[in-house]
Homo-oligomer: A and B are copies of this chain.
Amino acid sequence: MNSPATRTTGQERLWSVDDHLEDILTTVRPLEPIELQLLDAQGCVLVEDVTVPVSLPPFDNSSMDGYAVRVADVTGASEEFPAVLTVVGDVAAGQADQPHVGPGQAARIMTGAPLPPGAEAVVPVEWTDGGLGEGPVSGMRAHSASPEGSSGQVHVHRPAEARAHVRAKGSDVKAGDRALEAGTLLGPPQIGLLAAIGRGTVRVRPRPRVVVLSTGSELVQPDEELSNGQIYDSNSFALCAAARDAGAIAYRVGAVADDAETLRQTIEDQLVRADLLVTTGGVSVGAYDVVKEALSSVGDEDEAGGGVDFRTLAMQPGKPQGFGSIGPDHTPLLALPGNPVSSYVSFELFVRPAIRTLMGLPDVHRSTTRAKLSADKALTSPKGRRQFLRGTYADGTVTPVGGAGSHLVAALAHADALIVVPEHDTSVEPGAEVEVVLLG
């Protein structure tokens, strides 16, 4: 970011895709962590090592609905010669006080309930008569309807070894164990584990707040009437959705007209809710390229690391790009070109990795793969530019969709991959192997 914000004449440095991306990824820093409620932390990256405070399960408990017994009392039991035990009460899950199980006794016990004192094993209810005296049963009657089930006698039809159907305290995790490491992405099972060990809040990097605004006096909101020379604003919608898809909280600002002062004020206004700003349009070499014009005087270009640099990239689409930071907090800003396909491809290549860097994710890039090109004729690509063509990928083969034109938004909506043609290639024959970026 050491070149002036606008240039009108002379030869510029031609940036490679890789150099531009590296500049972004070495400049953008992960957001400061905050403590969030567990469900608010979904999709975020943990920044602390989480240690188990209490063993799981926290006490020996039954893995079955059945009867807690002493091993000696059921030795040799069979359906023909059952062990007959006196039921001294119920042990339900969450019950603080348990009956003591003495010789010749059993406690009716529910899955997850603590093994009562005196008991050594659990026999499943299916191995008993359930206290009904009529042979094996498949379950218990509800206590509310049949309270007598917690007393009387039970016939046990099979023996049980010590600790049978008992889950030992700490058999899942032990107090002091590492539950999750810093850097873990919190999905549903990780959130479940954190809740299970009693963590109601957790320290994570928050989702970045991304403000998306499009520029162009020709832009009209959908559902409005188009006048001569006008088109609908689509970039702010597509990029807002893409930012969310990448994990961000996205705010869509309506299209801003090509007036530098209006744009400057809009951006300064939005800074308060932005961890990252994304603009589209107004970054090229025209006389009304308002983003380039406006951002030369916004913010903190006098401070180290401040200012927005506008560049020419060796890529197609997406040649003109801006990157830098603005405002007192050096909020990063990516200024993308205005053509819908250019802006979307630029988002995938540069903004998505920036968002994922802000989130602290270990892997910020889309998956890539090699695929065989299926096409009627050779693809052509300008020399010295890395070209990104839209395609559909399936089973190791990629097929181009639409042409190379950067305005082919309809084709983009039917693509699920980008076909990469390297800088040194000017054509790719059908059947050749190509690199493919998988979108989603």
Contact = CB atoms under 8 A, between A and B. Distances in A.
- Chain A interface, DSSP helix/strand/loop, else mixed: loop
Given A286-B111, A413-B193, A222 B238 contact: no
A334 B194 CA distance: 24
Contact of A413 (B190, B239, B287, B338): B190
A250 to B, nearest CB: 8
Contacts of A132: 9
Interface string A214-228: 001111011110111
A89 to B, nearest CB: 11
A328 interface: no
A242 B188 contact: yes
A354 interface: no
Interface stretch (A56-64, A69-77, A299-307): A56-64
Contacts of A238: 188-189, 191-192, 195
Nearest to A109: B286
Contact of A110 (B173, B245, B287, B439): B287
Given A167-B405, A195-B237, A338-B112, A142 B6 contact: yes
Nearest to A261: B144
Contacts of A339: 111-112
B8 A409 contact: no
Contacts of A229: 59, 93-96, 98, 113-114
A240 B38 CA distance: 11
Nearest to A185: B440
A195 B234 contact: yes
A92 B293 CA distance: 15
Contacts of A143: 287-288
B144 A285 contact: no
B130 A8 contact: yes
Contacts of A100: none
A237 B139 CA distance: 29
A184 to B, nearest CB: 8
Q: Point out which of A132, A226, A407 has the most chain B C-beta atoms below 10 A from its C-beta.
A: A407
Contact of A172 (B126, B219, B408): B408
Interface stretch (A198-206, A271-279, A360-368, A377-385): A198-206
Chain A residues touching B, range: 35 or more
A344 B12 CA distance: 57
Given A179-B410, A338-B112, A409-B172, A94 B216 contact: yes
Interface in A295-337: none
A137 B218 CA distance: 26
Most chain B CB atoms below 10 A, which of A58, A110, A242, A415: A110
B188 A93 contact: no
A240 B138 contact: no
Contacts of A188: 238-239, 241-242, 245, 344
A370 interface: no
A11 interface: yes
Contacts of A237: 38-39, 191-192, 194-195
A285 B7 contact: no
Contact of A407 (B167, B179, B285): B167
* From A230, A242, A287, A412, residue with most partner B Cβ within 10 Å: A287
Interface in A165-187: 167, 171-173, 177, 179-180, 187
B92 A217 contact: yes
A231 to B, nearest CB: 6
B54 A340 contact: no
Given A56-B407, A139-B284, 12 more contacts: A39-B237, A56-B231, A56-B409, A92-B288, A94-B217, A112-B231, A112-B338, A142-B287, A145-B293, A188-B242, A191-B238, A198-B232
17 contacts: A8-B137, A65-B287, A94-B229, A111-B339, A113-B229, A142-B288, A143-B288, A179-B410, A189-B238, A189-B412, A189-B439, A192-B234, A192-B340, A192-B413, A194-B237, A196-B231, A198-B223
